[in-house]
Chains A and B, each alone.
Chain A
Amino acid sequence: MRIGVFVCECGTNIAATVSTGKVVDAALSMRDVLHAESIQYTCSDPGQRAVIDAIQKKGLTRVVIASCSPRMHENTFRRTVGRAGLNAYMMEMVNIREHCSWIHSDIDEATDKAIDLMQKGVARVRRQVPLHSTTVPVTKRVLVVGGGVAGIQAALDIADAGLPVTLVERGPSIGGNMARLDKTFPTLDCSSCILTPRMVEAAQHENIELMVSSEVEQVRGYIGNFDVDIRRKATCVDAEKCTGCMICQEKCPGKAPDEFNAGVGQSKAISIPFPQAVPLVAALRKEHCRLFIKGKCSVCKKVCPADAIDYEQEDRIETEKFGAIVVATGYELFDWRESYPDYGGGQYPDVVTALQYERMLSASGPNGGHVQRPSDGKEPKNVVFISCVGSRDESVGRPLCCSVGCMYIAKQAILTKEHIPDSQSYVFYIDIRAGGKGYEEFTRRAQRDFGAIYLRGRVGKIYPSNGNLVVMGTDTLSAEQVEIDADLVVLATGFAAAEGAGELARKLNISYDQYEFFSESHPKLRPVETTTGGVFLAGACQGPKDIPDTVAQASASAAKVIGLLSRGELETSPMVAAVNQMRCTGCFKCRDVCPYGAIEAVELRDGREVANVIDSLCQGCGVCNVACPPAVISLKGYTDGQLIAETMELLR
């Protein structure tokens, strides 16, 4: 056995805390270690060449590389040893950076630990055997979850590449939050004017199947081959027959909250959420329908000219196969009411969220674009905007920046002046975060050309007085307290993850942060991938972001999906479970616990039934190893022998 050990200095990342020379000396004193050296940057081209040279000149058969996390460079070094003519799996990576140099400061202790880790790696690689990967065919169909601008963009990009896409949306129409916006910063483009054509395109695209009022119920399988159960929720309307005439909505006597208009105004129990909805199909909400509450009504059924109403409709579950999944579930606004009693906690009708104000400004909104304040319908003259409500606030558990509040407040201040020329806007801000292209100029315009008065400080309290609201704030630039008599107060509430985001993440087996925003695989280098292969992220479900960033990320996700599915088959990891069938008792506990359905029963020639691992399905999770009573299943590359050898080496 000829083992080579390569100790990476990683510049000073490792060498500053670990004496790499001592690690090399320790390696050379080990049995079978014929070669050891330290290399300044092992992942660099000359570094890799040094590894290849040593393997070829000294005829090494096994290699230990002590460097960074395998998450970073395992593939790099597998390819390196592969190029040197060894089996790619005859390399063991030891993490002496994240697990050692970065977290310790004492050089002697860190060096000792690095030596321990290196020795453990040698012990393990000694028992390694060559492994060979297999391939599995991929399903060339894509699931996009969420029909906002991110989902629409990703679906269109993927569909344009010729792959069939299923776009699943929880609500009755695609369009998401962007469809609710009046204008977009910094160009003041009409939001629906730029979004509606994309919505229609998605609906009409030959490669896109729209599933509205639908949710992902369960996800099984793995990259390239997912089986997804989709719940098609009962809307009591036959989508094939409905013509979108809206007669049912006109005649319906059942009032319901208007979610599309963020609670400004009211809707009906059966409705089409907004005039540009795609598909233009009504949906009935049973919880507000008189027929379902009181047992008597069915007005909509009587008036429907298309006979599209079907009260008997029930939820259906459809199971479909997909090769990749794009998650684009977006965001919702942070519910500020409980956290901010100082701002009235929702008790003052004239304290509204920016999304509610957006609907008040919109021509498709409840007042047709005439701004009327909720309490008395009066046109407001003094409008106060408060930024960072539920953002940058540790006291309510939301220290994050919403990244768009500064911009949308500037936009709304401009729109306020356009709607009500004799109005005055006041903007309480803490820092103006306007990093995007043209953003800084836009916030300056709001002040210079539209007369918005910017006050640097946070508002402490709002209280009603004589039918108006008094806003108590600070201008930290003059270090004075400020009081403003306001007709309307608009809160720039921060972003929260969409309702049920955590639940969906668990179904998809992807990770999420404490705010339930989904985690990308690497913040810089893998920004659209998740830690689960074949599942990609787009838009605000990953973290607060504006429309340009959302669209960019959606297209990036699409590119990843197209790249993945452009191959006919995927190479699987050879680190899969294997059963020692001679000793298998056939209890099939392994089959019960396997999350991938990768274990089948086979009959041996002597008639015994034993477990067999289907290599192409096994994901190497190791659950079966633990469950097996006689311990006859092991994971290739992580055999009991290897793990015990590692442990024994550490304990020696």
Chain B
Amino acid sequence: MKKKIAPILSLAFMIVLSSCGNSGNTGAVTEKAIASPAQNAAQEPAAYDPKRGEGKFDETNVKLEAPDAARAGQGKAIAQTKCFSCHKTTTEKLVGPGWKGVTERRAPHWILNFITNPDPMIDKDPQVQAQLELCLVRMPNQNLSEDEARSILEFMRQNDGAK
């Protein structure tokens, strides 16, 4: 008996559909609405380079120079406001991992990419995902400017005893 119900039901639904007369009209819906930015950003190529990270920085535009104490000082001041609520300068984990040794573990452009563009990297980088499983708090995007990010990197280098 069940088999017979299905066709009758679908017939009923066809009536509903045809009475709405919207089969040829669906295009109007998409025309009218504005695409949200999140939706535009949704299509991403699968290629992700864990050595480089994702963002505007790579080997070509980040070159390390001799340590710059003044800049490191600026970086520390920015970190006071935006980073030290969650990170210590030692190896100890607070909300996020300690900073000691980070410039030895990660390439400078990777660090710059991560601190200015954390969300896509948290979603894609296997090592960052492993870190998230420990911390359970996604690193917030703190809206660092490029200049602020470079100063923080300089402070991280100083913290690691760069010469």
Bound pair: A and B?
no
B contacts, CB < 8 Å to A: none
